[in-house]
Amino acid sequence: MNSFNNVSDSDIQFFQQLLNERCSISHEDLKKYSHDETEDLEVLPQVVLKPNSPEEVSQILSYCNNRNICVTPSGARTGLSGGAIPLHGGVAMSMEKFDKILHIDEDNHQVTTESGVITQVLQEAVKEKGLFYPPDPASKGSCFIGGNVSENSGGPKAVKYGVTNEYVLNLEVVLPNGDIIWTGANVLKNATGYSLTQLMVGSEGTLGVITKIVLKLIPHPTHDLLMLVPFYSATEACKAVAAIFKAGITPSGLEFMERDALTWTQRFLNDSSIHVAENHAAHLLIEVDGFDPEKLMNELAQITEVLENFETDEMLFAESQAQKDTLWKLRRSVGEAVKANSIYKEEDTVVPRYELPKLLEHVKRIGNEYGFTSVCYGHAGDGNLHINIIKGEMSDEKWDNELSTAIRELFTEVVKLGGTLSGEHGIGLVQKQYMDIPFSETSLQLMRGIKNVFDPKGILNPGKVF
Amino acid sequence: MNSFNNVSDSDIQFFQQLLNERCSISHEDLKKYSHDETEDLEVLPQVVLKPNSPEEVSQILSYCNNRNICVTPSGARTGLSGGAIPLHGGVAMSMEKFDKILHIDEDNHQVTTESGVITQVLQEAVKEKGLFYPPDPASKGSCFIGGNVSENSGGPKAVKYGVTNEYVLNLEVVLPNGDIIWTGANVLKNATGYSLTQLMVGSEGTLGVITKIVLKLIPHPTHDLLMLVPFYSATEACKAVAAIFKAGITPSGLEFMERDALTWTQRFLNDSSIHVAENHAAHLLIEVDGFDPEKLMNELAQITEVLENFETDEMLFAESQAQKDTLWKLRRSVGEAVKANSIYKEEDTVVPRYELPKLLEHVKRIGNEYGFTSVCYGHAGDGNLHINIIKGEMSDEKWDNELSTAIRELFTEVVKLGGTLSGEHGIGLVQKQYMDIPFSETSLQLMRGIKNVFDPKGILNPGKVF
């Protein structure tokens, strides 16, 4: 482990001179930047800095690199793997001043944006021009696009449109030594050297600080249809997922929710719009989108036909935008509802989608063995299952001492199924202890080697990923 | 520059013991593996090895790494940037024995294949199951899928379906030290550590030898329509490209051919199926595909409507599969036809597609300055223009001494337009002298650093990329 220098009074003086009121050591600020949305984790930085230009980021990094002060880039702190926690103190570098959309290029279907723009703000701005940036994590109303790039975020639309990395064309990055580079070019295809762009995507703020982002956009679909399907068996619901794709249909959303995920969220939101019957074990929320309403009706009919092979209760077809919004709000609030309900731990497993039923069985079996219950939901069309392990009746001692063994057992099964630890939340702090399961020591050494190329002194977001 | 050991008699003995008749030093074989399809380049290896398992690749690499013998991985040698040329002699390691498709996973829409499978063979095998692997370089009938991954290949379908990197989920790779790793997992989304998978894609055989590939597949479209549109001005044709996308249409092919590209190819193929009038300056070949014939007719009508704003001659709508095949054969044969016609040099520039008209102007202006003509064609929908610089009347002296200055001037304009050196052919040997144009020295140092992490002794495909 690296040991870093504390931020001294003279360091603070330097930062204050550079940033004026955008340098803060108030307890309120230190507290605010001490955590993200990951359960039960908080480490105070020594100072919070809010640069507003790549040059300022460069000066800060260069200064800290020379003085061996560690720097944790901080976005909107909506992360779920602890990537933004300033584990070793030092500087928390907030990107919130990078909040400008620089150029919506309608001619080329691209947008150039600063990295601290809220994802939904970006989506709405390009939508006004008829353009679409699809990746839409549940936190889209507050998360930053730079954080999305750093975690290779997904969201419900990924099943049809792909995750963040398929949209990132080019990045302006400040390296730990202060050098500013562009990683690629503003083009749709690129065979020009190693893809530094793709390497930055998902690197969780450990290789450089992303200041500008060029994204590919596509025409915004004009219509969508949404249905909610109750199943009597969660396994059956998972099986239906692969069956829909095998029928040649690609929904724009295919979300799975176990019973408790839905009912807890209803309670959390005080929402009674959906009746969940006693014998409903799970629901699929299925969306299709496109440009031709008639075609979408056909697709929904095809999906309904596929679902006739499964035991389902009455399907709900959303009849208004308001009803669609309600259904999506329910889905998007599951994470918060689970959080509000109980002590829990969330895993972000991903497997080939046909293996979902097996994954679900493993979750329940391991839960029985170790004495925890679980609430599962997620982007089933992508094989991405968010597993919320609920403390419930489990003793503190078991929770503290045995849970990581149980999770290790679970991840081992996930990897056997062809899957891996995280589909969209990243490794950050909380999953790094499991990286030996999907990766050999050789692969981990390659990753550490890459880290060392970008950040030889290891000052940038130390203690994350591995 | 590294200096490597020559392959000695005892080395040959070791290889023969390991591989029997799959080790060759016959002049015929050395000659065969001395070149790819890049113009005017040939360097003989000292020995040709044809391993047939990752373990054999591992033994060869480990042996060569210990003895400082360089190894150039060799696919089908259809490359256009010299990536497969054994520049420093040593071992040419042919991947042709890796010719098995291992598993078409219909449940998960994936295929696991060895890397020496011909791309078209793979495409046809998955098509039998109703599945689609879209990237289709012009050489698809002979190139290897492993080569496609190494060069991040594109092809006409990329405009709608994306290039190779969007389909690669996981790779089995043998590192220069002989270690065998899998780079990722068989999943559609992955936020688990740095993406070694994406780093390998487009790395041109310089980081490791790819032995197995897991690819994402999609449902195979059931219908397509094709039209050929003659323009009186090449610039107008380029402008029409962006206009089609701005109208919200995403064709499955949008190819541009300057007049000479088409007429030379007709002569080369002895094909008179198309009448090219005196005043036709360029053509667009436009394809739409999907599952609903009626919708495709609508899309074609929309495209026709857009094209009414441009001066075009009579459009040809392909009426039969045979006519489609003829048109695509013409397009796919342009490269060979140009090659057969004259001494030439091909560039693989890519820009944001709206900038194509400006790019074309730069090409012609620089040609006028330096005294060369050019024939341009390519994947206009992607902004990817293949520029064939034709020697024609240019003196040998000017060709030898001034061409690289002209190309440097061209690439400088390309980068100013937001573009870069190569869209799909790679850097290999012939473009590496220009890498300082799109990349700063800092970025190049990062790439060299990454190379050094994977291949500290630099034995793998030396002299390529940078």
pLDDT at res. A392: 85
pLDDT at res. A147: 98
3-state secondary structure of B132: strand
Which of residues A219, A237, A261 is at a domain's end?
A219
Chain A residues inside the 8 Å CB shell of B353: 108, 188
Per residue in A42-71, pLDDT tens? Answer: 999 999 999 999 999 999 999 999 999 999
Burial of A277 (0-12, 13-18, 19+ CB in 10 A): exposed
**How high is the mean pLDDT in each 10-residue block of chain B (466 residues)?**
88 98 98 92 97 98 98 97 97 98 97 98 98 96 98 96 97 98 97 98 98 97 97 96 92 96 95 94 97 92 97 97 96 92 92 96 96 95 96 91 96 98 96 98 98 98 96
3-state secondary structure of A309: coil
Same domain, yes or no, for B211 and B228?
A: no
Size of interface A-B (CB pairs under 8 A): 272
Task: Give the chain B residue nearest A381 (alpha carbons).
Answer: B188
The answer as to whether B185 is a domain residue is yes
Please judge whether B442 and A352 are an interchain contact, meaning their C-beta atoms are less than 8 angstroms apart.
no
Interhelix angle for A293-307 vs A234-246, to 10°? 130
Chain A residues inside the 8 Å CB shell of B190: 152, 202, 350, 420, 422-423
Which of residues B188, B219, B250 is at a domain's end?
B219
Which residues on neighbouring strands pair with residue B378, listed in sequence order? B256, B385
The answer as to whether B73 is a domain residue is no
Cβ pair B317, B244 in contact under 8 A: no
Chain A residues inside the 8 Å CB shell of B422: 190-192
Looking up tokens 């290897």, which residue turns up?
B144
Please judge whether B350 and A466 are an interchain contact, meaning their C-beta atoms are less than 8 angstroms apart.
no
The answer as to whether A295 is a domain residue is yes
DSSP state of A420: B
What residues contact residue B26 under an 8 Å CB cut-off, 6+ apart? none
Same domain, yes or no, for B315 and B280?
A: yes
Same domain, yes or no, for B135 and B197?
A: yes
3-state secondary structure of A45: coil
The chain-wide mean pLDDT, for chain A, equals 96
Q: How far is A417 from chain B (nearest CA, A)?
A: 9
Q: How far is B23 from chain A (nearest CA, A)?
A: 29
The answer as to whether A375 is a domain residue is yes
Same domain, yes or no, for A110 and A202?
A: yes
Q: How far is B255 from chain A (nearest CA, A)?
A: 15
Chain A residues inside the 8 Å CB shell of B419: 185-187
Torsional sign, CA A293, A298, A299, A301:
positive
The closest CB to that of B202, out of A162, A195, A202, belongs to: A195
Task: Give the chain A residue nearest B464 (alpha carbons).
Answer: A193
Chain B residues inside the 8 Å CB shell of A450: 194, 199, 450, 453
Task: Give the chain B residue nearest A379 (alpha carbons).
Answer: B189
The answer as to whether B454 is a domain residue is no
Please judge whether B166 and A163 are an interchain contact, meaning their C-beta atoms are less than 8 angstroms apart.
no
**Could you tell me the two tokens for A405?**
């063994």
Q: Which helix (H) or strand (E) holds A368?
A: helix A356-370
The answer as to whether A82 is a domain residue is no
The closest CB to that of A193, out of B166, B194, B427, belongs to: B427
Nearest to A51 by CA among A215, A177, A209, A214: A209
Chain A residues inside the 8 Å CB shell of B466: 193
Same domain, yes or no, for B152 and B200?
A: yes
Same domain, yes or no, for B130 and B162?
A: yes
- The CATH number given to whatever domain includes residue A388 is 3.30.70.2740
pLDDT at res. A2: 63
Alpha helices in B343-420 (DSSP H): 356-370, 396-416
Task: Give the chain A residue nearest B158 (alpha carbons).
Answer: A189
Per residue in A376-413, pLDDT tens? Answer: 999 999 999 999 999 988 899 999 999 999 999 999 99
Question: How many Å apart are CA A222 and CA A130, to the nearest integer?
Answer: 9
Question: How many Å apart are CA B56 and CA B66, to the nearest integer?
Answer: 15
Which domain, by its residues, includes B105? 101-219
Residue stretches of chain A with pLDDT short of 70: 1-2
CB A154: neighbour CB atoms within 10 A?
32
**How many domains are contained in chain B?**
3
Same domain, yes or no, for B274 and B372?
A: no
Same domain, yes or no, for B393 and B283?
A: no
Q: How far is B131 from chain A (nearest CA, A)?
A: 9
Please judge whether B443 and A195 are an interchain contact, meaning their C-beta atoms are less than 8 angstroms apart.
no
Which of residues B335, B362, B383 is at a domain's end?
B335
